């Protein structure tokens, strides 16, 4: 039997944290400690097949600056389904659970995606950010041109100009 469970990071025991990290290491060849740390501190969607973890995604809070506001953003991280369990709806089930969290708690949703996964998010109503991206670094706002065209947002009540500038808060590792 397969089921999706939702839990805050604080509720994950050590074995579950290790299983999630191991799964993401398997899914992403270039997974770093920073990438894993970015996925913590929020709500996880975990797909269990009996005692085996086959899917992980989480949503954490960030501030994105746009249109003169610091928007409370549900930022989706660490989305991965074990290769031999893809195209069975597990990714969609995790996103559905996290989108409920985003809709209930945040001004918008956002995530950084690879070209391959862009279609998956677009089909769920996530919109490509067309404008320039940047980050609020310790030395001021810096362009993150390499990320332009990679950010998707889930617009909610706050009006967004998708061709305007979008600035993320600072963190170690990849900024988006």
Ligand X SMILES: CC(C)(COP(=O)(O)OP(=O)(O)OC[C@H]1O[C@@H](n2cnc3c(N)ncnc32)[C@H](O)[C@@H]1OP(=O)(O)O)[C@@H](O)C(=O)NCCC(=O)NCCS
Which residues make up the interface to ligand X (CB under 6 A)? 27, 79-81, 86-92, 113-114, 116-117, 119-120, 123
Q: Is the CB of 141 or the CB of 153 nearer to ligand X?
A: 153
E strands of the chain, at which residues?
2-8, 43-49, 52-66, 69-81, 108-112, 127-128, 133-137, 140-143, 151-155, 166-168
Query: Which one, 65 or 81, has the nearer CB to ligand X?
Result: 81
- CA distances, 126 to each of 76, 94, 141, 151 (Å): 12, 15, 25, 10
CB of 133 to ligand X, least distance (A): 15
Backbone angles phi, psi at 38, to 5 degrees: -65, -25
Give dist(CA 117, CA 145) in Å, integer. 20
Q: 106 or 121, CB closer to ligand X? A: 121
Nearest-CB residue to ligand X? 91
Task: Give the shortest CB-105-to-ligand X separation in angstroms.
Answer: 21
Minimum CB distance to ligand X smaller for 127 or for 137: 127
The minimum distance between CB 18 and ligand X, in angstroms, equals 19
Q: Are 111 and 77 in contact (CB under 8 A)?
A: yes
Least Å distance, CB 95 to ligand X, is 8
Coil/strand/helix, residue 117: helix
């Amino acid at each position: 039997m397969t089921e999706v469970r939702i839990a805050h990071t604080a509720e994950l025991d050590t074995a579950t944290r290790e299983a999630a990290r191991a799964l993401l290491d398997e899914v992403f060849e270039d997974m770093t400690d920073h990438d894993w740390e970015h996925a913590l501190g929020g709500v996880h969607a975990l797909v269990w097949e009996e005692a085996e973890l086959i899917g992980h995604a989480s949503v954490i809070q960030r501030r994105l600056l746009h249109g003169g506001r610091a928007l409370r953003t549900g930022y989706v991280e660490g989305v991965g389904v074990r290769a031999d369990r893809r195209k069975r709806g597990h990714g969609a089930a995790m996103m559905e659970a996290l989108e409920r969290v985003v809709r209930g708690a945040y001004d918008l949703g956002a995530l950084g995606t690879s070209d391959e996964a862009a279609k998956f998010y677009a089909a769920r109503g996530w919109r490509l950010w067309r404008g320039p991206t940047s980050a609020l670094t310790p030395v001021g706002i810096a362009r993150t041109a390499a990320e332009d065209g990679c950010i998707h947002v889930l617009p909610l009540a706050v009006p967004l100009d998708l061709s305007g500038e979008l600035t993320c808060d600072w963190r170690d590792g990849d900024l988006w």
